[in-house]
Amino acid sequence: MLKHRLIIVGIFSLVITLISPFIFHSYFEAKPKNINQQLSFGGPFPYAEQTVTLPAGDKLYPLEIKFQSPFEKETKFNIIPFILSFVCLFLFFFAIYSMITRFFKGKTVKEPH
C-alpha cells in the first residue's frame, strides 16, 4: 500500500514540477538598466532559464514575462534546482496525502481480551 502511495505522489509531484515554469512568471516593476535579461522560471526553486529582450519604453512597465515552451525558445535546465523542487513538492504532497487518508481512514482500536 505504501509503495502505491509513493508512486502516485511521485508522479503527481513530477508533473507539477514540470509545469511549474508555466505557473510562476517573472515581473518587472520598472525598466531595468540591462534590456537583455536571463530569467529563471519554475518553483519552488527556479530551474529553467531563458534569455529575454525586454521592451525599451518606460511606459510598458510594469511588465510580466511568461515562460515560453522549450520547443519555441532556447532554454537552459539546471538539474540541482529541478531535483530540489521535485523533492520539496513530493514531501509536501505526501504529507497532505497522508493526513487526508489518515483522517478518512481513521485508526482502528483493538480491544484487549
Query: What residues form DSSP beta bridges with 52?
Result: 37
Percent of the chain topping pLDDT 90: 45
- pLDDT, tens only, 36-77: 989 999 989 999 999 998 888 888 888 899 998 888 889 999
CA distances from 1 to 6, 15, 41, 81, 87 (A): 9, 22, 35, 30, 21
- Which amino acid appears at position 38 of this protein? Q
pLDDT of 101 reads 85
Cα angle 77, 75, 13 (rounded to 5 degrees) comes to 45
